[in-house]
Structure 1
Amino acid sequence: MSSTSAITTHVLDTSRGIAAQGLAISLYYHDTIQDKWNLIKHSVTNKDGRCLDLLQMEQFQAGNYKLTFQTSLYFEEFKEKSFFPFVEVIFVVNDPNSHFHVPLLLSPYSYTTYRGT
């Protein structure tokens, strides 16, 4: 899959066996000097559960990043409760010339994530 975004994600709702369309996601960068997370972008997954517009390669730099997935809002759409109100995935980028794909497998009471390709 071709993308101009340096960081992408793909969310699958494993409890339904479908892509998690319409899930709100935020991307942050950690400012180590001020020890705070700075918002880069808010986005929403598309019909395939993908978010491909988080960060342009020109803006990409080494450091710590955080993806926040608004899981309880997503499950409320199905009139379901979720154990996790949100999921935060923090990861380190050492080589900003690489693409980073961070998938999320999601259900109301569990999640799994990994470094994808």
Structure 2
Amino acid sequence: MSFSTHVLDAVTGRPAAGVQVRLEHQGGVVAEGRTDEDGRIKGWNPGAGIHRVVFDTGAYLKDTFYPEVVITFTVTDPAEHYHVPLLLSPFAYSTYRGS
């Protein structure tokens, strides 16, 4: 199983570079890092089960209603790739299961 994410800044229409991201499983941190210049993190391998990906949006967007975005998802097939994108603005966010 591999995991990736892509954070896009809806205000600027550009990738959100430098966003701190943490991947958790069963209360423990599996991986952490910052989005690259294209707003991406890839290559994490958390395994099966329920996971949380936590985005430190407050450090990226200084005046935001959402200082942290937490997305909980289930990995049912460890052989598949899981991509969780985040579209971000100061007062809204959206996500979906990507490919």
Q: Could you say whether these structures have the same fold, taking a TM-score greater than 0.5 normalized by the shorter chain as the test?
A: yes
* Structure 2 unmatched ranges of 5 or more: none
Give the count of matched residue pairs: 99
| Equivalent position of 1:25 in the other structure | 21
| Alpha-carbon separation, structure 2, partners of 1:9 and 1:53 | 10
Partner SS state of residue 61, structure 2: helix
Q: Deviations over 1:32-74 (max 9, x none)?
A: xxxxx1101111000000011432xxxx422001100000100
TM-score under structure 1 length normalisation: 0.81
> Corresponding residue for 2:89?
107
Match of 1:34 in 2: none
Deviation at 1:75, TM superposition (A): 1.1
CA distance in 2, matches of 1:52, 1:89: 16
Equivalent runs, 1:19-58 vs 2, <5 Å? 19-30=15-26, 37-55=27-45
**Which of the pair has more CA radius of gyration?**
1
1:54 maps to amino acid: W
1:66 maps to which of 45, 52, 64: 52
Q: Which runs of 4+ in 1 moved over 4 A?
A: none
Identity, % of aligned positions: 39
Higher strand proportion: 2
For structure 1, which runs of at least 5 residues remain unmatched after alignment? Answer: 31-36
